[in-house]
Amino acid sequence: MKMKYAAMLLSICVSGANAQQANTQSPNYVLPTGFVHTDEIPWGGAGAYGPGTSFRAVFTKDSGVFLDDLLRGMWVVKVDPGGQFTVTTSPKEDLAFFLSKGTGKFTLGDDQIDTKPGDAYGVPAGARYGLTNNGNEPVELLMYAAPLTVANPATKPAKGRADDMEWVPNTTHGPGCDQKMLLRGGFSSVIRNMWLMRGNPGSVNMVHSGGDHQIMYLWVAPVPSPTPRDSRTYGARIILRDHVMQARQGDAFYAGGAPRRDEHGLFDESPKDPLIYIAIGALPPGQGPGPGGGRGGRRGGEAGAPPPPGR
């Protein structure tokens, strides 16, 4: 299996002739299931979360992407200046958030937190959460929902701030890869962790698979050259199962865990710009680092209802 991907990478880097190398800019190309350009999803659901809010449904349970019911969905929620993601609770599911744009004040349990890009929040079922945009530009929040399949004994929310953490080399993933552990899964019985991953220029996140289900979102991505001299675009590429795709900022993909174990990887062809993405993993209760567990290892973009207040 690894030889297949080695050959694929060699073909891309040397001749660009591999049939699986996708020209995702072509109007005739159909993205593989579980991969989506989020910037092509229209904003909808005006006011669904409160005044001045709208959302993009990236992956939902009804879209047929997920292998099981561990994850219910991923959304990008926008809060306009002066708007509010109304403070609420979700008694029947754990949630995780990552602030990708803008500034505001995030409600986490009993705390009011001045928040900025790179902040992450883990919300156990029943804990309060919300956001007020007191800035001058829209806030965008990545939101992930994991329904409870067993009772979650955790009551304490979690938070992480990327600016307060140092990059740590992740040689397991491949040369040139770093990470920051934004959230550990102790707040949830299903959500394993949330990582901020960086691929430095020329890095290779080697093709791999695992037992946990993962969703990746490209927060920062190098812009391909408009006039490449050959198959090297000086951008970044994503491998998902048997597809290789040009990557761009805002792309998201789902890599299923056991029993299918979707193989995936990323590599950065840019000589100067990094690739930075958010990865979140989910495992069945008892298999991850959440309460009671040890360490263990239909396309996106279609309409999907957000988790309503009080869910």
Question: Looking at residues 234-244, what average pLDDT do you find?
Answer: 92
* Model confidence band, residue 311 (pLDDT cutoffs 50, 70, 90): very low
Domains of the chain: total? 1
261 occurs within a structural domain:
yes
183 occurs within a structural domain:
yes
pLDDT in tens, 62-99: 888 888 888 999 999 999 999 999 999 999 999 999 99
Whole-prediction pTM = 0.86
* Nearest in space to 197 (alpha carbons), one of 268, 141, 106, 133: 268
pLDDT in tens, 122-131: 999 999 999 9
pLDDT of residue 17: 31
pLDDT of residue 106: 98
Query: What stretch of H or E contains 276?
Result: strand 275-282
User: How many other β-carbons are positioned within 10 Å of the β-carbon of residue 296?
Assistant: 14
Structure tokens at 75: 């959304």
Q: Is the pLDDT of residue 291 over 70?
A: no
pLDDT of residue 25: 53
Measured in whole angstroms, the distance separating CA 300 from the mean position of its chain's CA atoms is 12
55 occurs within a structural domain:
yes
134 occurs within a structural domain:
yes
Give every CB contact of residue 188 below 8 A, 6+ residues apart in sequence: 94, 96, 122, 124, 146, 152, 154, 290
User: Domain range spanning residue 42?
Assistant: 31-282
5 occurs within a structural domain:
no
Q: Which class for 232: exposed (0-12), middle (13-18), buried (19 or more C-beta within 10 A)?
A: middle
209 occurs within a structural domain:
yes
